[in-house]
Chains A and B, each alone.
Chain A
Amino acid sequence: MAELTLPRPRRLRWLRPGARGTVVAATVLVVAVVVCLAVPVLWPLDQSAVALDQVGLPPSWAHPGGTDDLGRDVLHRSIYGLRVSLLVGVIAAVTATLVGGLLGGVAGLLGGWPDRILMRVVDTVAALPHLLLGIFIVAMLRPSLGAVILSIGLTHWLSTARIVRSELLSLRTRPFIDAAISGGASRARVLTRHLLPHVLPKIALATTLMVPHAVWHETSLSFLGLGLPPHLASLGNMINDGQRSLLTGAWWASIVPGLAVIVVTLAIAALSARWRDHLDPRVRAELDL
């Protein structure tokens, strides 16, 4: 339909009212973020407090998520855990993007031997199992938020580097770049005005797609006892602790934090997928016309 003359699309057309899934995902995410921000203010949690007179209570009005084997409120701690997970997920995804964007950018802009060397490095790192590599990095450092973020950031930059590099390499051969050079644009101008604006949305998309992945990763590390210190509420720690209760029939101690991970990461993934469709001109043609 390329030959039709169309009016300019409105901003945020991708979020059209008909897209019910998008609305549900956005609502879930907004509620999760608001709850994560509000609960510590309205209902602060003493991370190390235990209540041995309330051990293993099933969900009730007083404890909607039940209590765990140390009598701690599961829902309350899950919200705190979600806070940590989202924080770690976002910062780690941004870290990974910065590393990947920088390396992919250098490779794609310079081409030639820097490109070949960097891409061999990418291949080498990609050949190692990244959870194992992440565990190795965390194990070398003291268990802390920073160690977890570093571990995820340093193992997840590969895809971003590849995306940025291949985007830049293909953009560089496009006639509109030739036209810009011919029109007198300097190297810096070609980069900032013509190359980056095309790559940045894709980088931003790669970042959001990585957030749920990073959240899962943090949860996995904590579950394996390599993430945050065990007394701190993190979704991974809670699922790990919940295993013990599971044997006594207290399913809620691991199901509630587990659901929190699944629902929130699915919501983020659904929104990023919708955004990706919006960026893809072939799909956009379907949606718009």
Chain B
Amino acid sequence: MTLLNIDGLSVRFRLRDATVQAVSDHTFAVRRGELLAIVGESGCGKSVLAHALFGLLPRNAEVSGRAILDGVDLIGCGEKRLAREIRGRRLGLVPQSPATALTPVRTGRRLLAETLRAHQRDPALADSLAEQVGLDAAALGKYPFELSGGMAQRLVTALALAPDPALLIADEPTTGLDRPLVDHTLDLLRRRCDSGGTVLLITHDLAAAERVADTVAVMYASRIVEHRPAADVFTAPAHPYTCALLNALPDRAFQPIAGHPPMLTALPAGCAFAPRCTHADGACATLPAGPPVACHHPLVTEAAA
């Protein structure tokens, strides 16, 4: 059962002297109960994708394609409808920096109760919601600036969960947290999916994706180059970029990828990874088909079929 259907979604920013191609022709679906991790290095456009779904892009962004959540096109439905029916209701966001995302003048409990009330839910649920994210009653009574980074992270997660959104988007939710808190946050997202929720996890942290994701979409230079079940991606990567990225992990070869990703203002016509790829040849000057694997020379052939 599909919850989110993205079809030909592209985002670009027109500057006076250049065009930034931040998201190129994404087509994928997210099932109910699925945890999809979008992984990619900083600057590949993955955060722009999240902002596009939320309709929070700056004015000079040009969005094309469709993103249908539960029958509503997020791209075409207009700001009014997004604000009234979608954002914070059917679509929740766990932001990147919790410390700046919280109103400093209200305690966690009041913030939570207000959010619950605004969505016609029982404000008394605040404590059970807090417990769910691992926030104890004492911490809930504090003001956001009195909370540690980890506690603030739990609070924003609880706030995002308060309206019981159909789709939760977590944009780098673990940045700046230490390992136990990273694991805790990830497990929370996992439990959400296990109890029927749907999560889109945007991260640069491959270990995080490996820990909790059902499916993984690897993004490189604005395109999704590989979109397959997590187990397959991490054991038998099909795209040379995925393979190289995994090889860079400290518990694997710890081997960097030579070269730099292309600038989003000057993407090549063919495969964007070809200049750094050991398998590249003449065929790579044209854009490969895919997903699931956008490559002319996939490392695992049956996956591309």
Q: Which of A4, A13, A285 has the most CB of B within 10 A?
A: A4
List residues of chain A with CB within 8 A of the CB of B294.
none
CB of A4 to closest CB in B, whole Å: 6
Q: Is the CB of A3 within 8 A of B15?
A: no
- A6 in the interface, Cβ–Cβ < 8 Å? yes
Q: Is the CB of A4 within 8 A of B15?
A: no
Q: Is the CB of A286 within 8 A of B59?
A: yes
Q: Is the CB of B17 within 8 A of A10?
A: yes
Q: What 0/1 readout, one digit per residue, does chain B (16-50) give for beta carbons within 8 Å of chain A?
A: 11101010000000000000000000110111100
- A170 in the interface, Cβ–Cβ < 8 Å? no
- A19 in the interface, Cβ–Cβ < 8 Å? no
- A288 in the interface, Cβ–Cβ < 8 Å? yes
Select from chain B the residue with minimum beta-carbon distance to A6: B20
Given contacts A285-B58, A289-B58, contact A4 B16 (CB under 8 A): no
Q: Is the CB of B48 within 8 A of A1?
A: yes
Residues facing A in B46-93 (CB within 8 A) are 46-48, 51, 58-60
Given contacts A5-B264, A6-B20, contact A289 B48 (CB under 8 A): no
- A129 in the interface, Cβ–Cβ < 8 Å? no
Residues facing B in A252-289 (CB within 8 A) are 285-286, 288-289
Q: Is the CB of B20 within 8 A of A3?
A: no
Q: Is the CB of A286 within 8 A of B58?
A: yes
- B263 in the interface, Cβ–Cβ < 8 Å? yes
Q: Is the CB of A1 within 8 A of B264?
A: no
Given contacts A10-B16, A13-B16, A288-B15, contact A4 B264 (CB under 8 A): yes
A286, B47: Cα distance in complex, Å: 16
- A112 in the interface, Cβ–Cβ < 8 Å? no
List residues of chain B with CB within 8 A of the CB of A7.
15, 17-18, 263, 265
Residues facing B in A1-56 (CB within 8 A) are 1, 3-7, 10, 13, 16
Q: Is the CB of B15 within 8 A of A6?
A: yes
Chain B contact residue count (CB 8 A cutoff): 20
- B13 in the interface, Cβ–Cβ < 8 Å? yes
Given contacts A1-B48, A13-B16, A289-B13, contact A6 B265 (CB under 8 A): yes
A4, B14: Cα distance in complex, Å: 13
Q: Is the CB of A3 within 8 A of B59?
A: no
List residues of chain B with CB within 8 A of the CB of A16.
16
A4, B23: Cα distance in complex, Å: 11
List residues of chain A with CB within 8 A of the CB of B51.
1
Q: Is the CB of A4 within 8 A of B20?
A: yes
Q: Which of A285, A286, A289 contacts B15 (CB 8 A)?
A: A289
Q: Which of A1, A10, A286 has the most CB of B within 10 A?
A: A1
A288, B15: Cα distance in complex, Å: 7
List residues of chain B with CB within 8 A of the CB of A286.
58-59
CB of B304 to closest CB in A, whole Å: 29
Select from chain B the residue with minimum beta-carbon distance to A288: B15
Q: Is the CB of A5 within 8 A of B43?
A: yes
CB of B9 to closest CB in A, whole Å: 17
With contacts A5-B43, A6-B15, A10-B16 known, what are 10 further pairs, Cβ within 8 A? A1-B51, A1-B58, A3-B47, A5-B264, A5-B265, A13-B16, A16-B16, A286-B58, A288-B15, A289-B15
The 6 residue pairs across chains A and B that have the minimum distance between CB atoms? A5-B43, A7-B18, A3-B42, A3-B47, A5-B263, A3-B43
